[in-house]
């Protein structure tokens, strides 16, 4: 079983057809195969906020928002609830060390703790992960079968 930490930059693409790529779809395929996809506790908040803003800007309809929220709730993403306890320690340290937002540092922290590769489209987070010794799933990522 593959274990992956996914950030909102990847998972938001699942809801916007113009943003989908083979990379983002390969990560989504991991969910369907029963691989363990992990995210910090802020992930659902980031996802909901982005979807609500998209509806507010009329990029998606209210009906799409409702359907997306139901789908989001049912995604088999394992949420790390322990991250809040690390906010003032390892997450803050990573944010300072790699010049990341605390939000991005939470994804990096989880990848480090779990020893799992990170799926992100964020250039700064990708660079920080490489410096920290975390495997970053590459664009040509093909999920294991």
Collapsing DSSP to helix, strand or coil, 52 comes out as helix
Identify the sign of the CA torsion 103, 36, 75, 82. negative
- What CATH number should be reported for the domain holding residue 11? 3.40.50.1010
Asked, for residue 143, whether it belongs to a domain, the answer is no
Residue 140 pLDDT: 64
Asked, for residue 56, whether it belongs to a domain, the answer is yes
Q: How many domains does the chain have?
A: 1
Residue 92, C-beta contacts closer than 8 angstroms, at least 6 positions apart: 102, 105
Asked, for residue 37, whether it belongs to a domain, the answer is yes
Asked, for residue 107, whether it belongs to a domain, the answer is yes
pTM score, two decimals? 0.91
Asked, for residue 138, whether it belongs to a domain, the answer is no
pLDDT along the chain (145 residues), means of 10: 92 95 92 92 96 97 97 95 85 96 96 96 97 88 52
Asked, for residue 139, whether it belongs to a domain, the answer is no
The domain in which residue 93 lies consists of 3-132
CA–CA distance, 92 with 88 (Å, rounded to integer): 5
């Amino acid at each position: 079983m593959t274990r992956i930490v996914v950030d909102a930059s990847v998972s938001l693409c699942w809801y916007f057809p113009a943003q989908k790529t083979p990379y983002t779809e390969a990560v989504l395929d991991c969910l369907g195969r029963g691989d363990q996809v992990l995210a910090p506790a802020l992930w659902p908040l980031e996802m909901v906020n982005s979807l609500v803003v998209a509806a507010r800007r009329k990029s998606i309809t209210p009906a799409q928002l409702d359907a997306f929220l139901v789908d989001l709730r049912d995604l088999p993403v394992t949420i790390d609830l322990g991250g809040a306890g690390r906010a003032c320690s390892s997450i803050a340290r990573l944010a300072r060390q790699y010049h990341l937002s605390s939000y991005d540092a939470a994804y990096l922290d989880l990848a480090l703790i779990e020893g799992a590769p990170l799926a992100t489209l964020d250039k700064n987070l990708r660079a920080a992960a490489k410096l920290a010794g975390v495997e970053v799933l590459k664009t040509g990522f093909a999920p294991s079968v």
